[in-house]
Amino acid sequence: MYRKKNIAVFASGSGTNFINIYNNAKYADVVILISNNFKCGAIDFAIKNKIDFKIVNNLRFPKKIDQMYKKVLKAYDVDLILLAGFMKKIPSNIIKLYENKIMNIHPSLLPKYGGRGFYGIKVHEAVVANKEKITGVTIHFVNEQYDKGLIILQKKINLTANDDAISISKKVLKLEYKLYLKAVDLYCLDKIIIKNNMVKINEKN
């Protein structure tokens, strides 16, 4: 018997992955949304659905952001943190405190098209510019370096000569919903094992 995990989602924009996980996660409860941006789709959804949320940014908490993160996460007894289009870097002390308990989704097959400056449509534009025939989605744990944490799941998408950044973004987004949800379910069912600095999925237990 598995205890439902408490999830905190960090989002800055439309929050479509946040909404998908809130609506469809079987073994977890989204207990808190954290955002740096009050005027975003994620906050709108949280308000409409009576989901607790906290706005944490430099304007409200100058030089105290990491303390606020820690306070909120502890108050909600958070087991897992999900980054869903969150546009701020997570402080290193929070990463250490929640080591291998922070997931991020990236719209490419890392390590390709990852790192500082590679996000959203910029990733897909780079894929097109380099005439890639394959792209995809990566779910990974978060460490102190952008998009360098241990990879949990990856899924490929074949591209055609007619694909542009917009069409790729639509294909990738559909896959994001499925893959992020799968990663969350695996984590909540204790099926993600880290051994020798690698992620292994235990489908048996």
141, two tokens: 């744990």
Concerning whether 140 is annotated as a catalytic residue, the answer is no
> What does residue 64 show for φ and ψ, rounded to 5 degrees?
-130, 15
Q: Are 165 and 121 in contact (CB under 8 A)?
A: yes
CA dihedral sign, ordered 34, 4, 141, 67:
positive
165, two tokens: 């950044």
Instruction: Report the length, in residues, of the chain.
Output: 205
Q: Are 121 and 85 in contact (CB under 8 A)?
A: no
Q: Are 65 and 43 in contact (CB under 8 A)?
A: no
- Which residue type is seen at 174? K
The one catalytic residue in 17, 18, 90, 106 is: 106
Residues with catalytic roles: 106
